[in-house]
Amino acid sequence: MNTPAKLGAYALGLAVVFGGALGIGNAVGAVASPPAAQPHTVHEAPSATPRRPAAAAPASLPGGLQMSESGYTLTPQTTTVPPGEATDFRFTVTGPDGRPLTGYQTQHGKQLHLIVVSRDLGDFQHLHPAKAADGTWSVKLTLPEAGVYRAFADFAPEGGHGLTLGTDLHAAGDYTPRALPEVSRTATVDGYTVELGGELVPGASSALTLTVSKDGKPVTDLQPYLGAYGHLVALRAGDLAYLHVHPDGEPGDGTTAAGPGITFHAEVPSRGDYRLFLDFQHEGVVRTAAFTAHAGQSPAPTATPARPADTAPTPRPAATPEKSGSHGEHTH
């Protein structure tokens, strides 16, 4: 074998072992393409723009911003409702098979919760539609005045996880959007006063306690509503992102008091203003107290910062730093 032939054979061997290091793979690639069953035998030439790893996926959006998610789609029969008139509002949730969904899990006492709010967050309704055998939901809906509203369907399909799908509704006519109410820790409704305790912290779960009183006296005999002593909906001002908020305990568990305080755990995705709507039941009537709350600075990271890449560790054993005797606590 002459010298050029020997060099060619040697280059081919290196390509199989190293996958084209230092350009040898390019030379071999011109001779034969690698078999499909061996995807790692040849590497592509470096690109100025790195590829996104296959496992990387965009972060999930808060609920209610989309009318379709995970194969399920909220489909109203109409999106125009006359203002001030009770209207038979009908809709379906279409499943991944393209058919109206009929199987739902029961959550908070209902298979589906329909939340309808005006886009300026001045009006709020928590409704519970009735489902027909064919999967069509219907409810009497009154949009009090002209404007744009957002409807949220909060549900979980059988065998699936909870979803919140949203769609806009329109009540025709002239209207002027109202400004978001100022941040406040006190709300009054029908002679009841509700005090908001706790802070919204972006990117972290935080406890919110809402304390109910009437005529200056604490209410200690709240009645269960949707499997709890209160139901809280949180919406981000601007895009109306819908946030799931969960109460502590449940009626009859032996530890959860029937007031005056109702504690929830909320996690907001970003800084900014949020509108909170608390439904509570007392003396047989469900009432809604509304607050505007602000989420401020995100919590500081508690992890020890990594050593800069260009700082080499000290080789002397005596230079090993003393370990700290305490660790930061996680907030739940």
Q: What is the 3-state secondary structure (H, E, C) of 279-306?
A: EEEECCEEEEEEEEEEECCCCCCCCCCC
Q: What is the pLDDT of residues 4-14, one digit of tens each?
A: 444 344 443 43
H-helix or E-strand spanning residue 266: strand 261-267
- The reply to whether 190 and 289 lie within a common domain is yes
Does the pTM surpass 0.85? The reply is: no
Q: What is the pLDDT of residues 172-209, one digit of tens each?
A: 999 999 999 999 999 999 999 999 999 999 999 999 99
The reported pLDDT for the residue numbered 96 is 97
The reported pLDDT for the residue numbered 298 is 61
Query: What's the domain range around 273?
Result: 186-295
143 within 8 A of 81, measured Cβ to Cβ: yes
Tell me if 93 is assigned to some domain: yes
Distance between CA atoms of 245 and 267, rounded to whole angstroms? 8
Provide the CA 178 distance to its chain's centre, in angstroms. 26
The reported pLDDT for the residue numbered 61 is 81
Cα–Cα nearest to 263, from 232, 295, 227, 294: 232
Number of domains the chain contains: 3
Dihedral, CA atoms, 20, 25, 26, 27, nearest 10 degrees?
A: 140
Tell me if 231 is assigned to some domain: yes
Cα–Cα nearest to 20, from 48, 46, 41, 49: 41
For residue 29, which phi and psi values (nearest 5 degrees)? Answer: -60, -30
Dihedral, CA atoms, 81, 83, 84, 88, nearest 10 degrees?
A: 0
The reported pLDDT for the residue numbered 244 is 73
The reported pLDDT for the residue numbered 265 is 95
- The reply to whether 200 and 261 lie within a common domain is yes
User: Which residues of the chain are modeled with pLDDT < 70?
Assistant: 1-60, 298-332
Tell me if 167 is assigned to some domain: yes
The reported pLDDT for the residue numbered 31 is 39
Distances (CA, A) of 134 to 100, 103, 113: 7, 10, 18
Tell me if 198 is assigned to some domain: yes
- The reply to whether 27 and 81 lie within a common domain is no
Dihedral, CA atoms, 291, 297, 298, 304, nearest 10 degrees?
A: -150
